Amino acid sequence: MTVKSNHVTIKGIKDGLVFLFDDQCDFSELLNELRYKLEHSHQNILTGPIVHVDVKMGMRNISEEQKTLILDTLKQKGNLLIRSVETPGLVQDDQGGPAIRTVCGMVRSGQILRHEGNLLFMGDVNPGGQIICTGDVIVIGALRGMVHAGSDGNEKAVIAASFLAPTQLRIAEVISRPPDEWENRETSMEFAFLQEGSMQIDKINHVGKVRPDFNVFKGV
């Protein structure tokens, strides 16, 4: 099979690769070109040590099934580690809730991860690391750094983490400096939210009472 189109652009960056996908072409053409480049034309740069990959789908109206096909194709190359996936054109489910961006990795001390919208971060946030987001922030990992959700003033935003032991939480303009006993909390997933201007903490299974529209894995 010979593929001459240029619907898939692979760019090298300082710490990995970026896959840019044309959002105007037919999806089958896009997928075929991706498979061809992984197996033939770009095989030399896609072999060897682990390479971190950022995936950018553009504004294509992509379904969950199509997104999975793209990611599964990339994962077939054993050295490609998907770090982030941007799908601003993701087709919404029947509930009509907002999509969420997924980022995998680690936020180390001194690093700041910024995002407009809702964010699902799969990894740890170390002390000294920060996440600043206009929407909800869900950390599937240990949150030991600082997270600011609803940074544009959204007081309905929530912060959730598998292990909640932050140096600071902030929702909109409300700041919570956690007590010394954070490290002794239960290991179950918890979330922070605002209630009458004060920050509260509860188990994640109660999030529906605060935010009926909340879905941790929407868009993942």
- Tens-binned pLDDT, residue by residue, of the chain (220 aa): 444 468 999 888 888 889 999 988 889 999 999 998 888 866 666 666 788 888 888 877 777 788 889 988 988 877 788 888 887 766 554 444 556 788 888 899 999 998 888 888 988 999 999 999 999 999 989 999 999 999 999 999 999 999 888 999 999 999 986 655 455 555 678 999 999 889 999 888 888 888 877 655 444 3
- Of 35, 58, 90, which marks where a domain is finished? 90
Q: Using CA atoms, how far apart are residues 199 and 141, in angstroms rounded to an integer? A: 21
pLDDT number for residue 128: 93
Domain limits for position 64 = 1-90
pLDDT number for residue 161: 92
Name the one residue in this structure whose structure tokens are 């140096």. 167
Q: Using CA atoms, how far apart are residues 214 and 169, in angstroms rounded to an integer? A: 19
121 φ, ψ (degrees, to nearest 5): -105, 120
Q: Is 182 exposed, middle or buried (0-12, 13-18, 19+ CB in 10 A)?
A: middle
**Cβ–Cβ contacts within 10 Å for residue 22, how many?**
17
Q: What is the CATH number of the domain that holds 106?
A: 2.160.20.70
- Of 90, 116, 148, which marks where a domain is finished? 90
Name the one residue in this structure whose structure tokens are 């949150």. 143
Say if CB 87 and CB 62 are below 8 A apart: yes
106 φ, ψ (degrees, to nearest 5): -150, 135
Helices of type H across the chain: 27-36, 64-75, 207-210
> Count of domains in the chain?
2
Residues 53 and 5 in one domain: yes
pTM tops 0.85, yes or no: no
Residues 54 and 158 in one domain: no
Q: Which residues pair with 191 in a beta bridge?
A: 160, 202
Residues 8 and 81 in one domain: yes
Residues 56 and 127 in one domain: no
- Of 57, 72, 90, which marks where a domain is finished? 90
Residues 98 and 83 in one domain: no
Q: Using CA atoms, how far apart are residues 72 and 213, in angstroms rounded to an integer? A: 29
Residues 100 and 186 in one domain: yes
Q: Using CA atoms, how far apart are residues 144 and 132, in angstroms rounded to an integer? A: 14
Q: Which residues contact 117 (CB under 8 A, 6 or more apart)?
A: 98, 99, 100, 101, 133, 134, 135
